[in-house]
Structure formats: C-alpha cells, structure tokens
Amino acid sequence: MRSRPTILHLDMDAFYASVEQASKPSLRGKPVVVGGLGPRGVVATASYEARRSGVHSAMPMAQARRLCPHAAFLVPRFGVYRAISETVMALLGELSPLVEPLSLDEAFVDLAAGPDGGPVSAEEARDTGGRLRARIRAATGLTGSVGLAGSKMLAKIASERAKPDGLVLVPPGTERELLAPLPVRTLPGVGPATAEALRRAGIATVGDVVRAGEAELLRLLGKAHGAGVHTMALGVDTRPVVADRDTKSISVEDTFDVDVTDRARIRFEVDRLAVRCVERLRAAGRSGRTVVLKVRRYDFSTLTRSETLRGPTDDPAVVRESAARLLEGVDTTAGVRLLGVGVSSLAAFTQEDLFAQAGGTPGPGAPEPGEPPAGEAGPRGPDAPGPWLPGVDVTHATLGPGWVQGSGLGRVTVRFERPDSQRPGRVRTFRADDPELARGDPLPLVPASGSPPAAAPGPGPRPPPGSGELACPRGDLRPPGRGQRPRPGTVNGRGRPRPAASAPASAPAQDSSSARPARCPKSRSGSGGPGGTSRP
C-alpha cells in the first residue's frame, strides 16, 4: 500500500455512445444505445440519457427497446473506437511508461514510474489528473473520469464515484472509511457465488467482512480465497501496474438471430469465423498452437472443444481445418444459436508444419473458403456491402458525408452532418441501390487547428423527378402511431408506398425514370426503418 496517491485509473464516460454523440450532432443530449441490433443483440454501451430509462450494458437489445423506445439504436464502429483509444493511451503514456490497458476505454497508470517520480502530494496528483482530463477532451472531444489512490482497487473505485466527467482522489489513511459501506461485490475477486455465500452468513458490506474477521472468511471461502478477500477489505492491495499483459487467447464469435440447424450453413460459419480469427491473430503479430471451437445450442448449453497442433501457426487453412474437425464431433441437429472459434497457447513466432498439417482437401460439394453454401446469404455486418445499418458512415456524390439513420423496403435514410456542425444536419431518403451513395470514412471528432467549424447544410432544393433521392425533405420514416393509419410513402415494414394510379388508355406510357417519386410524410425528426429505428 502506497503512502501517496500515485495510481491513476482512467475510465472514459459511456465511451461508444459518447463517440457516436460527438460525431453526430443531432444525437447530442439524446438517448443513444450501441450494440447488436438483431433479435438476440446485446447492448454494448448506453448513453447517460438512455441509462435514465434503465438501459445498461449487457442488456438484451429487445429489452432496451422496450425501456427506451425513443433512443437511437446504432451498430458499433470498432475501427473508430480503436483509433480514439490509441490517442487516449498515447496521452497516458506521456505520464508514465507503466500503462496497463484494461479495454479500449479504461487503463491504470503508475505515476510513480513517470519521469519526475510522480506527484509528491495529493494536490499535485489532483493537478495531474485534471490536466489529463483537459488534454483528452482537447484531443478527442470526449470526457473521462479519473480516480487517484495508493492502490489499483481504490483508484478504480474512485473513478467509478467520479462518473461522469469527474475526478476523485482517495487520500492515504482514509481507505477503510471509504470501503466500509460499499457492497462486498466491490472487492476484486468477489463474484456472484462468493457474494451469495457471504450473504447467507450475514455479510453484505466490506465493513461486515472486516468485522467478521479472517478466521470466519477462511471457514466460509477457503484458505486462499478467504485470506485474499479479507486483505482487500482492509484496503490492502499490492498488485502492481503491469504495462504488457500477455494475451492468453484470441477469438471471434457470432450469435445468430435464428437458431441454425442446417449443417452446411454451420460448416460455412465455422470456416468464416476461423478466417476472421486468424486475421485478428496476425494483426496482433501472434500465432497459436491450440484451436478452440465454441458451440452454444438452442437451450443455452455451451460446448467447448479444443485441439492442440504440432506447433504455433497463423495459417488460416490450418485453423479452418482444425475447427472443422472439432465440429464433426458436435451434434448440432437441434439448432445452434452461437458459434465461436479461438486460438490459445499464443506465441510470437510460427512453426510451419512440414508434414502438411493443413494438407486436407474439401469434401465433395463443400463450399470454397469464403463462399456461402447454396441458398445461403453471405456474412452481413457493418463492413459488408449491405444492408445499410444504422450508424454507419456514408458519403453522397453531391451532398457529402453523412450517416445512416435507418433503412427498409429498399430505402435508406441518411442524415448529412459533420462532427463540427453547429446544428443537426438535414435528412434525405434514397433508394438503397442509389449509385451516388456509398460507404464513407469516419470524420475526425476534433477539427484540425485553425479550421473553421462546419455549418450544417440547409434544407436545399427539392430533388428533381427521376433522381435517386426520394422527395422526403424531412426524412420521416417513423411507424404510424397507435390508432393511426399508415400514410402513403411510409417505409416502416408495415405501411406500403401508395401504388401509382393507372394511366388512362389514351395517355402515353410514362418512363419510370421520369415518374414522380414517392412522398414521405412530414415530421419534426427522422427515424429509421425496421431493425434499425433511430430517432434523434
């Protein structure tokens, strides 16, 4: 236990959701939920506005929609999050070479290992934390909460108490006073099972743990675990900040919207996951010796199978064939809801198999690598050519950069705005196959110094007939309310565009390119279509 508060813990505030709000001016101050949008999707992050409605991380997305139906539901953009995380971690690295990242938005820093030996007083530590928060905001436009203490456990507790956008310092000597009223789950190593065992013994808070004594903890939890929990309850945490934590495994997994029973489809998905896993493995500069297959069946029972190879590899063919062999021993006839492929026993080198470890050939009728089986659609995701998922970046040949607000029934609604826009941008609806609309690159959250802020584009002229853009100046794709009839031109999965009236027999045939486009109803704000409704 240190006598100075030289352990700093940084936790970015609602990181994914905050990035989306910073990049989309129309969502600022409004509820935003980021995660999987399918029927079995899970919330990754919710903005503080959405949390007031009870939405939180790891909640099923269907439940989040019921709790906060007016929120913007967006797919995650991990490439953007990683780039911003690298900027934040670089700022932490300027404080000390000992930075221990826990995730993209969270890290410990040992200030005592810094160039000046770290702060010598609580006020110096507070000034260091304040300067860090200001620099992060200037570099990324985002906020983070900082905790300072003499140990990792207390620094993390302090940052949680500082949220959002705050700083809390735990003065040395006040650790017991801070910990006493907190629930036992606050202590590292106390999970649901341990907490339940302590609750049955009448121990609910950290103060109760201290009063129970070490002997009682040893009786309830065993020698090793009981001693560790008692030591933590006393505020003693000697764990060091470790800059390079070894990655034990690398894996990828997918949850399906509907249970998959077709064996050919399951083989294809395992093959695709193996290739994605190797891509992550190579990006990390690692190789692995053990291939792991994870199968979660329709009844939530999870099976894990593994195979150890002769040596470390990063060959996609080797990993694919190993995963395929593991799959042969798993019964999937009742249905599969999740598949995963991972590689463990990592190394920093590869050992090519001289005995054709991956020398097998696909069986007759098996699809080629990356080719879906007959009758199956290929993988879909934020980086796939379609569909237009809510939140992804797009660009229009005439209107410039924007983001998908919703889509459905062959239409896609886009809001055109930039992170530095002074007001929400305009909304336009296009045909999904509009050749002028394409995926775009994310824009920086903070403009380059000296660049004037961008003004949001005005409403602009009405598009001419025959253009790819639909005549929906206000971009309303909102489903009709209860007791309200679907209006013509509504694209919401229930209403259908009004069919064009048949022309009199004497009237000349009208070319489809010059036909009057569908009109969308007026509304104060835009919203997305089925599966991607997002109303700022």
Q: Is 257 annotated as a binding residue?
A: no
Distance CA 23, CA 268 (A): 36
Q: Is 105 flagged in the annotation as binding?
A: yes
Please identify which of the residues 20, 106, 269, 417 carries the catalytic annotation.
106
CA distance 217 to 228: 9
Contact 402, 417 (CB under 8 A): yes
* Token couple for 290: 């053990």
Distances (CA, A) of 39 to 27, 63, 333, 404, 532: 24, 10, 22, 20, 11
DSSP 68: -
Do the beta carbons of residue 313 and residue 291 sit within 8 Å?
no
123 noted as active-site residue: no
Cis peptide before 387 (omega within 30 of 0): yes
User: Phi and psi for 498 in degrees, rounded to 5?
Assistant: -65, 130
Tokens at 376, concatenated: 């199956």
Q: Give the closest residue to 152 by CA, choosing from 313, 10, 17.
A: 10
- As a whole number of angstroms, the distance between CA 256 and CA 271 comes to 15
d(CA 470, CA 204): 60
Cα torsion 138, 144, 145, 150 to 10°: value is -80
Name 415's bridge partners.
403, 427
Question: Which residues, 6 or more positions from 172, have their beta carbon under 8 angstroms from its beta carbon?
Answer: 2, 3, 4, 5, 150
Residue 362: HSE in the Cβ half-sphere, 13 Å Cα cutoff: 14
Q: Which two tokens stand for residue 82?
A: 């990683």
Specify whether the CB–CB gap between 19 and 81 falls below 8 A. Answer: yes
Residue written as token pair 């985002």? 142
Measured in whole angstroms, the distance separating CA 144 from the mean position of its chain's CA atoms is 17
Burial class (CB in 10 A: 0-12, 13-18, 19+), 314: buried
Give catalytic residues, as residue numbers. 106
Q: Which residues are annotated as a binding site for Mg(2+)?
A: 11, 105
